[in-house]
Amino acid sequence: MSGRCNQFEDHGRHHSSQADHRCPGPFRASAKPQDPVFFQNPYPFYAQQHASHPTFFWEEYGHWCFSDFRSVSALLRDKRLGREILHVATREEIGLPTPKPHTVDFDLTEQYSLLNLEPPAHTRLRTLVNRAFVSRQVEQLRPRIRQLAHDTIDGLEGEDSVDLIKAFAAPIPAIVIAEMIGLPAEAAPLLLQWSNRMVTMYMYGVTHETEIDANQAAADFTAYLREAIADRRKAPREDLLSHMLTSDRNGDVLSDDEVMSTAILLLNAGHEATVHTTGNGVKSILESGLNPAALFATPEQAEKTVEECLRFDAPLHLFTRYVLADTEIEGISLRKGDVVGLMLGAANRDPARFADANRFDPFRTDGANVSFGAGIHFCIGAPLARIELQEAMGVLFERLPKLRIVEPPRYGNVYHFHGLEKLMVGWR
């Protein structure tokens, strides 16, 4: 991911060239990303912006943000903005810091990430991996996901209460994506540990110690995958790793580094958002007072319920883009290299788009969301994530109809990556 800024947005380290004098006072807003009052519930801040200035300059991040559904949806598709900047500018030109020597392994894992590449490199890579994630392919995984959900709940026998994130939400998508790539299910806990350490790099105000630890996790992850890649080169199997290594598009094949980078992205992004949406969704359902059985009574209603979970409490709240050339957006003058923030979580609660936007309503007729992004960077794993959520949550409420929250839920201190670090539930 060139440009040092990926889906999860390493806000503590990114460059933004916007000068304060270009932002009139009334359009400025302040909210500290690491203030527990804010990251436990950012929605009052969003409501305030919707009521006053949906487009505003966020002081702590030092860049312009867009929070209304119409703008976010349009700008996710806008070709004036991009996920990388070094294909149109030098570091010196826009004042981007040079890479840090102590994060070299981490940076290598991001170098060929789909999330940050722009065409034609993005088009080439996405074409070569897309086939494995189309709906008809992942639809075949429903029975396996359902079985994993049942097995996981079987493992809770004898317990009175558990942390649902650790005991249920995290293991299932980690095992699914590991098996899909071609790694053993028993490796999932190790992959999860590396992934969790790597995503700390995307926190606001990341420390030197965090960078060192995340880099070590990246080095270990890379070494593990290089071994698996070498094995598949000798003996290909029916898995995504082999598919990526053998895919040939008019003589074009992926390098080991491209395969490694893509596999790590799929493993990290492929479970993280699903874990968060499972936790956030179960919390939303239980706090709504609605009958969970009714919400998963039919496949159609299960679909609507999952979409409302994605809208109401999105797993990713802030996604950034670079401005690729001097331009003007909604009356704001932006320079090449500027960063803009697209506020997915806020857009999903836009009162101009949704009736009673702050109410969880799985029966609503105006359902939609931008939780998976849009445009060329629309989440490649969205069909898989939707199936995982429908099946896992459906089985959970079927097996544990008396499920209830037994202590106040806590969100993690990674504002933009909005997920519960703990959700204690009981069912007796």
Q: Could you tell me the pTM of the whole model?
A: 0.91
Lowest mean pLDDT among 6-15, 131-140, 167-176, 251-260: 6-15
Query: How far is CA 299 from each of CA 36, 279, 281, rounded to the nearest angstrom?
Result: 37, 20, 17
Q: Where are the alpha helices (DSSP H) in 101-234?
A: 104-110, 121-130, 135-138, 142-154, 164, 171-181, 188-198, 208-234
Q: Which residues contact 60 (CB under 8 A, 6 or more apart)?
A: 30, 31, 32, 33, 204
Cα four-point dihedral sign 388, 390, 391, 394: positive
- Find the domain containing 346 and state its range: 20-426
User: CA 42 to CA 277: how far, in whole Å?
Assistant: 16
* Domain count within the chain: 1
Place of tokens 């007072």: 289
How far apart are alpha carbons 317 and 212 in whole angstroms?
26
Is residue 124 a part of any domain in this protein?
yes
Query: Looking at per-residue confidence, does 142 or 132 come out higher?
Result: 142
339 within 8 A of 322, measured Cβ to Cβ = yes
- DSSP strand pairing (410-411 vs 28-29): unpaired
Residue partners of 28: CB distance under 8 A and separation at least 6: 56, 57, 59
Angle at 188 between CA 146 and CA 256, to 5 degrees: 115
Q: How confident is the model at residue 2 (pLDDT cuts 50, 70, 90)?
A: very low
Write down the pLDDT at residue 28.
Answer: 94
216-235 confidence digits (pLDDT tens): 999 999 999 999 999 999 99
Taking the C-alpha atoms of residue 272 and residue 282, their distance in angstroms, rounded to an integer, is 16
Among 367, 351, 225, which residue's Cα sits nearest to residue 309?
367
Rounded Cα–Cα distance for residues 357 and 177 (Å): 33
In a domain, 68, yes or no: yes
Question: Is pLDDT of 9 > 70?
Answer: no
Rounded to the nearest integer, the mean pLDDT of the chain is 90
Say whether pLDDT at 131 is over 80. no
Residue with tokens 């990430």: 113
Q: What CA dihedral angle connects 309, 199, 89 and 254, to 10 degrees?
A: -90
Q: Is residue 284 part of a domain?
A: yes
Residue at 13 is within a domain: no
Counting beta carbons within 10 angstroms of the beta carbon of residue 428, is it exposed (0 to 12), middle (13 to 18) or buried (19 or more)? exposed
CATH code, 357: 1.10.630.10
pLDDT, one tens digit per residue, over 105-125 is: 999 998 888 888 899 889 888
Confidence of residue 1 (pLDDT cuts 50, 70, 90): very low
Q: Is residue 4 part of a domain?
A: no
- 47-73 CB burial, b ≥16 within 10 A, e <16: bebbeebbbbbbebbbbbbbbbbebbb
Query: Is the model's pLDDT at 292 over the cut of 90?
Result: yes
Predicted pLDDT of residue 11:
36
- Confirm whether 82 is domain-assigned: yes
Which residue would you say has higher pLDDT here, 380 or 304? Answer: 304
Q: Encoding tokens for residue 54?
A: 């949906």
Average pLDDT over residues 293-302: 97
